[in-house]
Amino acid sequence: MNIFEQVLENPRRMKKVRRIFYICLAFIVLGEVAVVYLLHAGHGHFFFEEFPAWGSFYGLISCVLIIVVSKWIGHAFLMKKEDYYDD
């Protein structure tokens, strides 16, 4: 049994891992907000680049959009019917 199975199968350990993940996520967002306000204030090319955590939000929306478009392309053009080769 490897370390990942031990962590993921134990609910108490998984709760700790999830808590650590959320703490790290909060530090990343707070760090990005601090960088926007302290270091890059007024240096954006567009008005929306000054929003706190704009890079994180843009990255999240971009990833979701890539997944949705890829699934749509797969279902609309690439997948064939189940009896495609039986005809």
For the stretch 33-82, pLDDT in tens is 777 677 766 666 787 777 777 777 888 899 999 999 999 999 888 888 78
Residue 46: the pLDDT is 80
Per-residue DSSP letter, 74: I
What is the rounded distance in angstroms from the CA atom of residue 3 to the CA atom of residue 57? Answer: 32
What are the φ/ψ torsions at residue 41 (nearest 5 degrees)?
-65, 120
Q: Residue 1 pLDDT more than 70? A: no
Q: What is the pLDDT of residue 42?
A: 65
Q: Is the pLDDT of residue 83 over 90?
A: no
44 CB-near residues (< 8 Å, 6+ apart) = 50
